[in-house]
């Protein structure tokens, strides 16, 4: 997964969101809005939390990795 994140940083205009956001409400909402936008980008949430359960996760959440047709084609056509 680290390779995917690095590739998206270099080629996919990855948007990194460091603000603590809830995995059950806020992250899905932000991702939904992003996927509907004209210039949709992949999103990396670095501080996911669960407010209801008082949990702070130590693993980031990657959303919208197939942000656009162009990005998907670029990823599929990359050379090893």
pLDDT given for residue 5 in this prediction: 86
- 78 pLDDT higher than 80: no
- Taking only the tens place, the pLDDT of each residue in 37-51 is 888 899 999 999 999
Q: How far apart are CA 67 and CA 75, in angstroms?
A: 11
Tokens at 43, concatenated: 């999103």
- Taking only the tens place, the pLDDT of each residue in 4-35 is 888 888 876 799 999 999 999 999 999 999 98
Q: Are 18 and 46 in contact (CB under 8 A)?
A: yes
Domain regions of the chain by residue span = 2-77
Cα dihedral sign, 70-14-43-77: positive
Residue 22 CB neighbour total at 10 angstroms? 16
Query: Which residue would you say has higher pLDDT here, 1 or 72?
Result: 1
Residue found under tokens 């056509």: 77
- Taking only the tens place, the pLDDT of each residue in 52-61 is 999 999 999 9
């Amino acid at each position: 997964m680290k390779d995917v994140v690095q590739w998206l940083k270099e080629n996919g205009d990855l948007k990194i969101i460091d603000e603590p956001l809830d995995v059950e409400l806020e992250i899905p909402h932000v991702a939904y809005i992003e996927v509907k936008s004209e210039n949709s980008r992949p999103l990396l949430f670095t501080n996911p939390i669960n407010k209801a359960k008082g949990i702070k996760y130590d693993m980031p959440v990657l959303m919208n990795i197939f942000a656009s047709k162009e990005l998907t084609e670029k990823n599929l056509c990359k050379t090893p």
